[in-house]
Structure 1
Amino acid sequence: MRFKGAELMPAPTHVTVSPRSFACDLATICAPTLAGLKPASLFRYQPASGQDGTAMAVAWHALLAPRGVTVRVLKACPVTGAVLVYVYRPTQVAAILQRGDVQDFLQSEGYTPGDAESMLAQLSQRLCCEEDFPHEIGVFLGYPLADVIGFIQNRGKNFTACGYWKVYTDPAAAQKAFDRYKKCERIYARCYYNGTPIRQLTVAA
């Protein structure tokens, strides 16, 4: 299964087909979200034969929801079992989606106004049913709105910096954020491989 367009928004290193465990991807790729530095993260997971990626997401959600983190599948392939997993802090994502400028932007992209759950349901529908990748997903990941709009208008070209997203507005500020996220990923990877439980690594809301 190929999630069309995922190589553009978000950045390719953060939507991966991983031979590692679901827990490993959760602890490393989603580290900035678990740490509370970033409202949401996204990764693609290909379960091994006999495994159920959706069931894994449900189990991890039950474990992390009391810490203020939701784990959900936005898209699942019925053929390969691959899942696109969205890990997020509902209160932070809801605050982003309630902003007037973000609501105006999503409405211009064809979304029907509603609460965060409604907007996420519409995003999931687009991922599952539309041929083109919904690059507005950047706002659901906490990327700056101006950069998401810049990416769409420029078709992913003419950016001034590139890391977790392609930057069109303030490369210096974006680079500081990229550096924080990378440092967090290194720390969390070290802790995870040294045996620290993911629940313990998840900062409570």
Structure 2
Amino acid sequence: MSKLEMASTLKMINTLQDKEYMFYMTAFNIAPTIEGRKPACILTFSKKNRNLYDMWEKYKEEFLERFDIKAFHIKDTGDTHTVLFYKEAELHNQIFKDENINFLHKFGYREYMKLEECLNLLKERYENFCPHEIGIFLGIPLEDVKAFMGCTKKPCLSCGYWKVYYNEEEALQIFKSYDEAKIKVLEAVRQQIVLNSFNNNIKI
């Protein structure tokens, strides 16, 4: 899919009714996690513009069931709703990798904690600021999380889904994989819009 086709498809999505709009835009933004390429994605629904905040509240259960994905509500300001989307097994494996959980010790996470307890602790810490350890939940390599925290003076090599300080080539391949997942969603959406046949079974 070309950049022009991507832009055209996103414009088409913007003209859809609320349910279709929420389904398609959310699926597009969290596609790497839906596809199992990323342990989690974070998304904020706002009352501004199309009011995705209310749409999410109305259609969330149907959306989660359709895409076989889980959602954890991180923060609700009344005007915005920040949600962590994840696949349970993938996120559990990411958090409890030896190197990751050892790093997370300094923030209060422990090996014996259940995934839900880890998410609740993240939510508690997110209340006042965006905690650095969220990078681990989102699948960012530990070395890059540490570097972003200022644990090194190493310069940033590249910037995409995160700031890359180490293993640039590997990171760029991951970025490409995430982009491919998003394009896959847009291609499926474009086909359904052209056929004028919205249904919950977006083939991804």
Give the shorter-chain TM-score range.
0.7 to 0.9
Q: Measure how far apart 1:34 and its partner are.
A: 1.0
Q: Measure how far apart 1:127 and its partner are.
A: 1.3
Unmatched runs of 5 consecutive residues or more in structure 2: 1-12, 15-20, 193-197
Residue 43 of structure 2 corresponds to 43
Q: Secondary structure at the match of 1:73?
A: strand
Change over 3 Å in CA distance of 1:169–1:157 after alignment to 2: closer
Q: Measure how far apart 1:155 and its partner are.
A: 9.0
Alignment of 1:75-86 (within 5 A): 75-78=75-78, 80=79, 82-86=80-84
Residue 57 of structure 1 corresponds to 60
Alignment of 1:1-205 (within 5 A): 21-47=21-47, 48=51, 51=54, 53-64=56-67, 67=68, 69-78=69-78, 80=79, 82-111=80-109, 113=111, 114-128=113-127, 130=128, 132-153=129-150, 158-195=155-192, 199-201=201-203
Q: Measure how far apart 1:170 and its partner are.
A: 0.3
Q: Measure how far apart 1:98 and its partner are.
A: 1.5
Structure exhibiting the larger radius of gyration computed from Cα positions: 2
Give, as a single letter, the amino acid of the residue that structure 1 aligns with 2:94. Answer: I
Q: Measure how far apart 1:198 and its partner are.
A: 5.8
Q: Secondary structure at the match of 1:194?
A: helix
Q: Measure how far apart 1:194 and its partner are.
A: 2.5
TM-score of the two chains, using structure 2 as the length reference: 0.75
Alignment check: 8 A CA contact 1:57 1:72 kept = no
Alignment check: 8 A CA contact 1:102 1:145 kept = yes
TM-score of the two chains, using structure 1 as the length reference: 0.75
Unmatched runs of 5 consecutive residues or more in structure 1: 1-18
Give, as a single letter, the amino acid of the residue that structure 1 aligns with 2:64. Answer: H
Return the alpha-carbon distance in structure 1 between the equivalents of residues 150 and 75 of structure 2: 25
| Higher normalized contact order (CA 8 Å, seq sep 6+, divided by chain length) | 1
Identity fraction in percent:
24
